[in-house]
Structure 1
Amino acid sequence: MVDVGDLNAFLAVAERGSFRGAARRLNVSASGLSEAVRRLESKLGIRLLHRTTRSVVATEAGARLIERLRPALAEVEAALEVVDTFRDRPAGTLRLNVPVVAARLILPAIVPDFLARYPDITLEVAAEDDFIDLVAAGFDAGIRYDERLERDMIAVPIGPRVQRSATAAAPAYLARKGRPEHPEDLLSHSCLTGRFGSGAVLIWEFERDGEIVRVEPRGPLVIRTGATADLAVDAAIAGTGIIHLFEDWLRPHFARGTLVPVLEPWWQPYSGPFLYYPGRRLPPPPLRAFVDFIRSRRPG
């Protein structure tokens, strides 16, 4: 008989393309995973993975096994989750993939109360702004904005339902360079700009009285969207240039006077983020508890 644990180990290694990566994902040793895969290959009498010093790739037989194994193991997991619903309290691990702004501005108001209510649940959060395949990456759910949601996902509103991107600069910068009165004036200013992980430039979009203006800013600092946004904020406070970021992120600096709102009548509102997860099967108990918790906090 083939051990289900060995099958899970093989699948994790194949999906990660690395014994070390799979070991971190499963919180086990790489040597233990290597032994599990060797044991599985020995029982089946065929090599499933090509191993080199740089990568691990499924053989043709391994690839065919993966195709059939994923849905089969998903069904096993779903069957066990049905049993788990009979527990008094949901337990297990909930893995979320969220953008940096959600980790900074949304989850802090949610996570402590959720974990206090469900002490048997462990929450793992990865913050990154690049779009990923949730299932392939081993996450239960994610947080994204509606323009980046896949159509086969279930989406639940989380956090503020309306947000704005704010434009701001330090008083010293405005005293030195002057204050822009129209978004197109930004083209003659030093702007602290960003790029997505794909390399695409972050376009600044403004709206007033039905008029939409999109600006591709230029300036001395370009950041990768996400965690490096704090560097751009610090640079803006130091007077390096004009920044364009989530209003909630910049509001504390407005209150302290280290940054001053710029072009505020043009700040464009947009829909807030969503918690999303695959709709192909019942969510595991930790995710179901989180979804119910989020819904219970929504007004009305």
Structure 2
Amino acid sequence: MEELGLSDVEAFLAVARARGFRGAAVQGGVSASALSAALRRLEARLGVRLLNRTTRSVTPTEAGQRLLERLGPLVGEIGSALDSINAYRESPTGTLRLNVPSIVARHILPSIATRFLRAHPGITLDVITDDAFVDVLAAGCDAGIRYEERVERDMIAMPIGPRLQRFVAAAAPAYLAAHGRPSRPQELVDHACIRHRFPSGVVAVWEFERRGKIVRIRPDGPLLASTTEMEVEAAVAGLGIIHTFEELLQPQLANGALEPVLEEWCQRFSGPLLYYPSRAHMPAPLRAFVDFIKAEGAQRGDGEVRRTT
């Protein structure tokens, strides 16, 4: 049998795990046509079809599933062995792929990424912005950043960025002049509210807290959107009250385009967590990033937590 190429095997594994050429291409930073060509070469050399392809899906054949189960761990060990050479470098090299929500990508990660990349010029940071709940490994990422209630199970998690954040409600001065300023969260049912829809399709519930009392509101209003830019612009235009991360509204609050309301009810919550799987051989770029975040966290007294439930 003709000698198999490791790159062709890796292409098969990527497509089989992603269940598609397009997804595997995005994760691997290669073209779908290159992956397709690699798979054809591998199937020709083995003399057996490994993947069933339709216009809607890609699934392993029985032979492909068996090869996936046998080769997956072996290729992973090869990758770990090659990556271990990084330990002999003065500074590690390679790509670190992170999956993060948009609020983190815009307002928390940029300054951290800048400091990290200056300290590790041999590392490329590949940031995938995704507000949905994802399996970071299945998505081809080394680690993810999420808030505590959305961190995957059986992961190592550690604080990254601010330890506390808060949601704020705000409206344009013109809106408040025309409709009045609410004094209690319950009064929001009589106001026009600008609502947010998550990628899952769920519409956000507004939650407020004061002296241990929590009030949840399902608002109504003229706009329901999935992009914060549209929501903020609508609020500035005076269409209604907005409720979101304080960081997203800071410029408008600072210049007076928006005014805070229900300030004594602003809910605080724990900041984001960096999470990653427990691995015997952690990729060098991820190890460098974890050590970097630990060092910064030690200055604030932050710690690492192991999530097992």
What TM-score bracket applies, with the shorter chain setting the length? over 0.9
- The Cα of 1:274 is off from its aligned counterpart by 0.5
- 8 Å CA contact 2:208, 2:266 repeated in 1: yes
Q: Secondary structure at the match of 1:136?
A: coil
Q: Equivalents in 1 of 2:31, 2:231: separation in Å?
A: 39
The Cα offsets for residues 124-183 of structure 1, whole Å up to 9 and x where unpaired, read as: 111110011111110011110111112311111101101100000000000011111111
Tell me which residue corresponds to 2:27. Answer: 25
For residue 222 of structure 1, give the secondary structure of its aligned residue in structure 2: strand
Q: Which residue in the other structure is 1:230 paired with? A: 229
How far does the alpha carbon of each residue in 1:245-288 deviate from its partner, in whole angstroms, 9 at most, with x for none? 11122122111010001101001111110111111333211111
Q: 2: distance between equivalents of 1:14 and 1:5?
A: 14
C-alpha distance in structure 1 between counterparts of 2:256 and 2:77, whole Å: 56
Given candidates 114, 117, 122, the residue that maps to 2:116 is 114
Give the Cα–Cα distance (whole angstroms) in 1 for the partners of residues 60 and 219 of structure 2. Answer: 45
Q: Which runs of 5+ in 1 are unaligned?
A: none
Task: Note the aligned Cα RMSD (angstroms).
Answer: 1.5
> Does the Cα contact within 8 Å between 2:25 and 2:31 map onto a contact in 1?
yes
CA displacement at 1:243 relative to structure 2: 0.4
Of 90, 104, 109 in structure 2, the residue corresponding to residue 88 of structure 1 is: 90
Write the mapping of 1:5-16 to structure 2, written as runs, cut at 5 A: 5-16=7-18
Q: Give the distance between the partners of 2:160 and 2:192, measured in 1 at CA.
A: 34
Shift of 1:12: 1.2
Q: How does 1:85-234 map to 2 (within 5 A)?
A: 85-224=87-226, 228-234=227-233
Instruction: Please tell me whether residue 259 in structure 1 is matched to residue 272 in structure 2.
Output: no
4+ aligned runs moved over 6 Å, structure 1? none
Q: Secondary structure at the match of 2:69?
A: helix
Name the amino acid aligned to 1:279: S
User: Aligned to 1:40, which of 18, 21, 42?
Assistant: 42
- TM-score, scaled relative to structure 2: 0.92
- SS in structure 2 at match of 1:41: helix
CA shift in 2, pair 1:198/1:28, >3 Å: closer
Task: Give the deviation of 1:193 after TM superposition.
Answer: 0.6
For 2:183 and 2:93, locate their aligned partners in 1 and report how far apart those are by CA, in whole Å: 54
Distance 2:275 2:249 in 1: 26
Structure 2, unpaired ranges of 5+: 301-309
Equivalent residue number for residue 294 of structure 2: 295
Higher alpha-carbon deviation: 160-169 or 29-38: 29-38
Question: Hey, what's the Cα distance between the residues in 1 that align with 2:33 and 2:236?
Answer: 49
Bigger drift between 107-116 and 172-181 goes to 107-116
Aligned with 1:55 (options 41, 57, 75)? 57
Number of residue pairs matched by the alignment: 297
* Counterpart position of 1:270: 269
Q: For 1:109 and 1:53, how far apart are their aligned partners in 2?
A: 42
More displaced 10-residue stretch of structure 1: 36-45 or 258-267: 36-45
Contact 2:97–2:142 under 8 Å retained in 1: yes
Alignment TM-score, normalising by the size of structure 1: 0.94
Kindly provide the CA deviation profile for residues 81-118 of structure 1, in whole angstroms up to 9, marking residues without a partner as x: 22221111110011011000001110121112211111
